[in-house]
Structure 1
Amino acid sequence: MADAALRLKTLFEQLLGAPLPVRIHAWDGSQAGPPGAPALVVRNRRALRRLLFKPGEVGLARAWVSGDLDIEGDLYTALGLISGLVWQRDDDSRTLVEALRDPAVRSAARGLVGLAGLPLPPAPPPEEVRRRRGHLHTRRTDRSAISHHYDVGNDFYEIVLGPSMVYSCAYWESPDSTLEQAQHDKLELVCRKLGLTPGQRLLDVGCGWGSMAVHAAREHGVSVVGVTLSQEQAAYARKRVADEGLTDRVEIRVQDYRDVTDGPYDAISSIGMAEHVGAERYLEYARDLYALLRPGGRLLNHQIARRPQGDESSYRLDGFIDAYVFPDGELAPVGTTVTQLERAGFEVRDVESIREHYALTLRRWVARLEKDWPRAAGLAGTGRARVWLLYMAACALAFETNHIGVNQVLAVRTPPSGSSGLPLRARTWN
């Protein structure tokens, strides 16, 4: 067969009900599709079997992670072209039986089966999380989920994140700023919103590799307790603290935030951690942090948000990210987050969207990963590195197109006197 690409193009267009905006490069050397467009490289028939046995986003992800499917040309352009056909219309609730009621779908499916052959379904790539039974977001399941994502190797994360080792949205003065400067500015913005002053106590929930803890102690003279569930992060953060000569002011613990009992704290930072909490536990999370603050203490909650779908205001999971990136991660609309913080007793004083800043950050991380690809793949494994490349590039596009956002929510445990302690013009962050 020397026409696999043309047959695939025709069959995919039957399934999608729309012209295919990318080229197809098939395993037999054939090509088809719009000239000059990025190409989907279908390296073997196994890629088709992955799509047939798990239609939609997860099937595509399995083919990508395993290397059975690749992209030739600009990754962002290719993802942008196919997102409207896959990610933005992916309907996992539509059963195969329902789909096959459409004669065009039945015909295309038969054609793909003929091209793919039908041995047993390919095993998922080893990077995929085995689905769990029982309740989500217990201490045990959260520890396992955090380990899957963050214990990939500190050397790998150094390649992606750079010297700052900050794994959350940076704050850009301009697109021409360096990543390191933009991450410094984000940490400084958080410190100013929290109003940190020498001698105060800060709790950094989900402290990562210690960047916020070190910055706050060094630049603002506060005492910091940082908690993480990742052993690798904790070891790295403790070394940074020691190298900075801050062991008298910074303590890094491997500890669940639910087990912190040594309040009160003057301020709490939670930067890119709340996405792991989950809908069932979010009010508990907010109440725990409220209880750990002194009256007048501030919380800075930095969190990715998903846009509401119609009347829906609940949390939603993303199939690819849940299976390969953030197991059990959940995103909520920012309004849901604000409501839960208020239900816990907080007075929400400021909400700042920095959506465009995350797109810039992710593009820099992708560029760093691509630049040092052989070493990154050697450290984490090719499959894991491919997971990170796809996830970061796709998320950059999602932020750019306003499908997801990121917000910094400043909340206060306002005392009975009603004095929040914030300046009249709070955006000066004095």
Structure 2
Amino acid sequence: MAAQTAARLVRALEEVLGGPVPLRVRAWDRSEAGPPGGPVLVVRHRRALRRLLWKPGELGLVRAWVAGELDIEGDLYEALGRLAGQVWERPAAPAPPLPRRLESRFGLGRELLALAGPLPPPPPPREEVRGRTGLRHTLRRDRRAVSHHYDVGNDFYAQVLGPSMVYSCAYWDGSAYGDAYGDAGGRPVMTLEEAQEAKLDLVCRKLALEPGQRLLDVGCGWGSLVLHAAREYGVTAVGVTLSREQAGLARKRVAEAGLADRIDIRVQDYREVGDGPYDAVSSIGMAEHVGAARYRLYADRLYALLRPGGRLLNHQIARRPEPDEEKYRMDPFIDAYVFPDGELSPVGRTVTLLERAGFEVRDLESIREHYALTLRRWVANLEADLPRAARLAGPGRARVWRLYMAACALAFERNEIGVNQILAVRTPGSGVSGLPLRTRDWRG
């Protein structure tokens, strides 16, 4: 009977997923079934099935993954690619009562229940965000959401991001996209650190930074952009973040660089900044936290903080438009474990709201493929020493980040999401934008 466990499991999972299981499956008793070759889905404990019974689809599987009850042997990217159509894009399941629903909807409901063992399901792993109350994107709730994502240990992020400590997509040479891992001999075409420095410099050139100007970096992270701008372009800079751990390390880096007299790092919400005007504002990978309901306020606030003729560089992940925008919901895994209350918008909506705030949008550059390459490098950094990552941030958190970054890399590669740099100007009444006639001249 034990030898049939995996075969029974595959049949039951096919009923739950509504299609064939695209991976070979190994059950907790070491029995195997399913298509040979390729990655193997390892079900380490029957508790994983109890999670799936109560949360069919993505969230149930993710909870089992975070708890270590599910694993992948082999190529994680290939496994996620095979699962994409059956799990990640399926709609959420209806509400309980679940046993009766299984009995009516799935012919093997009883068998899955028998394999799963006693109900009810175990509680979600502790890394899941809980207890969210009140309106989204208030100052207090945003602080808590940002803390969940970023205050997990600077050493953990240093392992993932590398020495650059930049947590947004790098900017790669054109030749680098041909092979994510290097040239024909396996040698890196461009290091992650080189590509991140290229991105920081691109932002500075688009903003046309000059000595003596004031730069505001909204969502400054660990201070990499303000450090680059002060050191290479001679500006004075203010960086704001809601993460105390980020701010602590950013201030340390600023002091070590001897730039404390020109860079101010604050734990502050963008809505609380009141010392404008600035010559330039950068927002790199921060606007995803703002929320659709608050985006016009965000755009209005940044417009007000700029002097006439000042420039905004808004670097933001974008999703594809939904047929019914009212039904858009953030991915349940990312909302529960990664970016609580995060929201993505189509790039067209972002441009519209910036223009309604008064900005003149002068340039939009899609760098989607660049983020896919960056994420693959981050995953490689994490996988280079998974035991250390688990010690630094906890086993569940390390598993969350590995799954999240690998899945996002595939989403960027498949054009399911994108990322764009939008250059906008607070053009004065004279109509003189201050930009060159050939805007792409900033590439050098």
* TM exceeding 0.5: yes
Q: 1:172: which partner in 2?
A: 172
Q: Structure 2 residue aligned with 1:234, among 232, 247, 253? A: 247
> Could you tell me whether the CA contact under 8 Å between 1:153 and 1:232 is conserved in 2?
yes
Establish whether residue 247 from structure 1 lines up as the match of residue 248 from structure 2: no
Pairwise CA distance, 1:373: 1.2
Residue aligning to 1:223: 236
2:284 corresponds to 1:271: yes
Change (3 A) 1:196 1:314: farther
> Which whole-Å CA distance do the structure 2 matches of 1:163 and 1:105 have between them?
52
- Return the offset for 1:32: 0.4
Q: 1:402 to 1:384 in 2, by over 3 A?
A: same
User: In structure 2, how many angstroms separate the alpha carbons of the residues matched to 1:370 and 1:253?
Assistant: 33
TM norm structure 2: 0.94
Asked whether 1:346 is paired with 2:351, we answer no
Match of residue 257, structure 1, among 270, 277, 286 = 270
Instruction: String of CA shifts for 1:230-275, please: whole Å, max 9, x gaps.
Output: 1110010001111111111100001111000000000000000000
Q: Deviations over 1:276-334 (max 9, x none)?
A: 00011110000000000000100000000111122538863110001000111000111
- Output the amino acid matched with 1:169: C
Q: 1:3 is paired with a residue of what secondary structure?
A: helix
Assess, with a 3 A threshold, how the Cα gap between structure 1 residues 317 and 99 changes in structure 2: closer, same or farther: farther
Q: Secondary structure at the match of 1:407?
A: strand
Q: Give the equivalent residue in structure 1 for 2:78.
A: 77
Which position in structure 2 is the counterpart of 1:358?
371
Q: Within 2, Cα distance between the matches of 1:391 and 1:177?
A: 24
The amino acid of 1:24's aligned partner reads V
Is 2:176 the partner of 1:163? no
What are the Cα deviations for residues 154-198 of structure 1, in whole angstroms up to 9, with x where unaligned? Answer: 000000000000000000014221000000000000001101011
Say whether residues 1:296 and 2:309 are aligned partners: yes
Aligned to 2:218, which of 205, 219, 230?
205
The match for 1:282 is: 295
- Unpaired stretches in structure 1, ≥5 consecutive residues: none
In the alignment, the residues of structure 1 paired with residue 328 and residue 264 of structure 2 have an alpha-carbon distance, to the nearest angstrom, of 33
Count of aligned positions: 429
Q: Verify the 8 A CA contact 2:39 2:78 in the aligned structure 1.
A: yes
SS at match of 1:107: coil
Q: What CA distance in whole angstroms lies between the structure 2 residues aligned with 1:99 and 1:425?
A: 64
Query: What is the aligned partner in structure 2 of residue 378 from structure 1?
Result: 391
Which segment is superposed worse, 347-356 or 15-24? 15-24
Aligned pairs for 1:60-75 (under 5 A) are: 60-75=61-76
- Deviation track 1:24-69 (CA, whole Å, cap 9, x = no partner) reads 0000110001111211100111000011111111111100000011
C-alpha contact (below 8 Å) 1:314/1:336 kept by paired residues: no
Structure 2 counterpart of 1:37, one-letter code: G
Taking the aligned partners of 2:68 and 2:13, their CA distance within structure 1 comes to 20
Provide closer, same or farther for how the CA distance between residues 425 and 195 of structure 1 changes in structure 2, counting only shifts above 3 A: same
Q: Secondary structure at the match of 1:133?
A: coil
Structure 2 CA distance for aligned equivalents of residues 347 and 98 of structure 1: 53
After TM superposition, give the deviation of residue 114 of structure 1 in Å. Answer: 1.5
2:377 alignment partner, SS class? helix
In 2, distance between residues paired with 1:133 and 1:374? 35
Cα distance in structure 1, aligned partners of 2:125 and 2:92: 20
Query: In 2, are the aligned partners of 1:315 and 1:331 still within 8 Å (CA)?
Result: no
> In 2, distance between residues paired with 1:121 and 1:316?
25
Q: 1:170 to 1:373 in 2, by over 3 A?
A: same
Determine the C-alpha separation between the residues in 1 that align with 2:335 and 2:398: 16
Output the amino acid matched with 1:119.
Answer: L
Distance 1:428 1:316, change over 3 A: farther
Mapped contact 1:65–1:384 kept (Cα < 8 A): yes
Greater shift, 109-118 or 119-128, is seen at 109-118
